[in-house]
Amino acid sequence: MKNITVRNVTIACVAVVFLGFQGYMAFFRPLPPLLQNPIHLSLALMAAFLFYPLYRKPEGAAKSIKEFLGVLDFAAVIALGAVIVYFVTQADRLMLRIQYLDPLTALDYAMMAIVLVLLFESVRRVLGLNLLIFIFVFIAYAWFGKYAPAIISHRGTNWKAFTDLMIMGADGVFGVPLNASASFLYYFVIFGAFFAAGGGGRVLVDLGMKLSSKNSSGPAKAAILSSALFGMVNGSAVANVTTTGVMTIPMMKEIGYRPEQAGAVEAVASTGGQIMPPIMGVGAFIMAEMIGIPYVNIAISAIIPACVYFLAIFLLVDFIARKGSFRKPCASGPAVEPILPRLYLLLPVIALLVVIGMGRSLMMSAVYAIFAFLVINLIRGKKGLTPINLFKTLLQGTKQVAEIAVPTAACGIIIGIVVMSGLATKLSLIISALGTQSILPALLVTMLGCMVLGMALPTVAAYLAAYILFIPTLGRLGIPALPANMFIFYFGIVAQITPPVCLASFAAAGIAGANTWKTGWTAFRYAMPAFLVPFVFVEKPELLLMGT
């Protein structure tokens, strides 16, 4: 009972309301984007403020300070409730007004300030300062762009235009990226949380362990298979490392892999999970929304590059084991429960893929998968999740939704400013000039830009920022939309294993007890196929199963 606090009760209420709101859109009727997206973001921001309190240290501050900071968190939740009321009551006016022409009210300006301030603070809490600084740079460019060098300058903005851009239409905070979060990512994240908690993720990891060979490279191959299978559903490199690496890294070290080698293999394999069909990282779903093609096309096109990536890693670890004359793994490795009696736990994923293949919307595909999981959980009886554990899993899924909605909304600010200022066109002209004789220099610049973004930002945010900055350039060079998007998607992902900022490698190094710097550079070398494949499929789109 002592865990029942005002904050926990509020979190539970927000999660239930959030679920009810998304359920209403799935089962009754979808709402217009200018109503759906603000409500979705407001609920996600409430979750962010509650799950990431202003004061997180368990002790060390005066009780009065803790209480004051806690009051600020709840004041933010109340303010977000006011934002929801504003958009519900003003929905008709907002949908009928002509953006940038019709006048704004004092309330519109106030709501813009509230939404941005609360979004900025949630970015700081959830994602840290990197993305926040990135946003501030673009906001400064929006206001002071007329003082920038002539090649990237623009006429600047004013309060009316800025407010109109940020919250009064579909070009700013409530733009396409957030619309993807509200329309279908919520359901996929909740399904992923249920699937992992219900034992499905464990089956995938154990399956990889079982399928690996028993020779000296077996533990490394187990790491690759487990990470690839689990990453198909998980979609997060760091989470993949921490889930599978705790088993596979010690096994690799036991037979002779050096700590930095074991950590690097796990980091490279876990990162590859985000490019492994049929269920890739969240960025792949957003890519389908941005390009305007079915997600199944994205998944199919990624098959050959993903297979090349993992085949290269398989060969690598085999050669390392042979060269090092590693000993065979002992039979007393981590015990793996029989797989066959648990294969039915994968039925929700199979249902998801079947429904997607039938052409149903991503929203309804994920909803069917959630129902499939709940039915199987009910049939399992005492072996399944209890109602309390199901609710705890819903809370964890709500937290993960907030962690996706916050960067997608924040990137909407960047995208809106880039479109408003014409920066994308200006950068396109600059980079295109490099590719007049050959597109290779332009691709190299794009690669470096995507990797810098991927080092500083989460995968979703990195992809969205790269999309608005570099896709116009690649399109101007005659590269089709799918190869161009896959190109920036790949390099935003491999930044997770590229020094100096390589979060997946750092997480693996921590488990392996290895030097983080050595692990990062070792992973970088091991992942070289991921740096070469995008250039190949830009030149030969047939690798993405395009054309004949």
Give the three-class secondary structure for 279: coil
CA distance 450 to 183: 26
CA geometry: angle at 202 spanning 504 and 356, to 5°? Answer: 85
Backbone φ, ψ for residue 190 (5° rounding): -65, -40
Q: How many CB atoms lie within 10 A of CB 40?
A: 27
Note the pLDDT of residue 251.
77
Is the preceding omega at residue 500 within 30 degrees of 0, hence cis?
Answer: yes
**What's at 454, amino acid-wise?**
G
Q: In this predicted structure, what is the pLDDT of residue 42?
A: 96
CA gap 537, 531 in Å, rounded = 11
Q: Collect the ranges in the chain with pLDDT lower than 50.
A: 1, 331-332
> What pLDDT, on the 0 to 100 scale, is given for residue 504?
82
What is 488-508 written as a DSSP string?
A: HHHHHHHGGGSTTS-HHHHHH
Distance CA 174, CA 166 (A): 8
pLDDT of 56: 67
Which amino acid is residue 253, in one-letter code?
K
Q: What is the pTM of this model?
A: 0.83
Q: How far apart are CA 54 and CA 124, in angstroms?
A: 10
Q: Which letter, b or e, does each residue of 124-151 get, where b requires 16 or more Cβ atoms within 10 Å of its Cβ?
A: ebbbeebbbebbeebbebbeebeebeee
Query: What phi, psi does 137 have (nearest 5°)?
Result: -60, -45
Query: What is d(CA 397, CA 394) in angstroms, rounded to the nearest whole number?
Result: 5
Q: What distance in Å separates the CA atoms of residue 502 and residue 521, rounded to the nearest whole number?
A: 9
Residue 237 near residue 271, CB atoms below 8 Å: yes
The burial of 379, by beta-carbon neighbours within 10 Å (0-12 exposed, 13-18 middle, 19 or more buried), is given as exposed
Token code pair at residue 211: 């399928």
Question: What is the structure's pLDDT at 368?
Answer: 92
Task: Give the amino acid at 119.
Answer: L
Residue 360 gets which letter from DSSP? -
Tokens of 325: 């004359």
Cβ neighbours around 79 below 10 Å, total: 18
On whether the CB atoms of residues 121 and 410 are closer than 8 A, the answer is no
Within 10 A of 378 (CB to CB), how many other CB atoms are there?
10
Q: Which amino acid is at 162?
A: F
Helical segments of 333-458, H only:
347-357, 362-380, 387-421, 423-434, 439-456
Decide: 406 and 128 in contact? Cβ < 8 Å: no
Burial class (CB in 10 A: 0-12, 13-18, 19+), 374: middle
What is the spatial distance between Cα 536 and Cα 437, in angstroms, rounded to a whole number?
18
Nearest Cα to 422, choosing from 152, 167, 168, 178?
152
Contacts of 236 (CB under 8 A, 6+ apart): 274, 281
pLDDT of residue 1: 44
The span from the CA of 461 to the CA of 170, in Å, is 18
DSSP type of residue 227:
H
Distance from C-alpha of 260 to C-alpha of 237, rounded to nearest angstrom: 17
Contact 317, 220 (CB under 8 A): yes
pLDDT at position 359 is 78
Report the pLDDT value the prediction gives residue 378, as an integer from 0 to 100: 92
CA separation for the pair 543, 536 (Å, rounded):
8
CA dist 89 and 174 (Å) reads 17
Identify the residue whose tokens are 């953006």: 99
Amino acid 58: pLDDT:
55
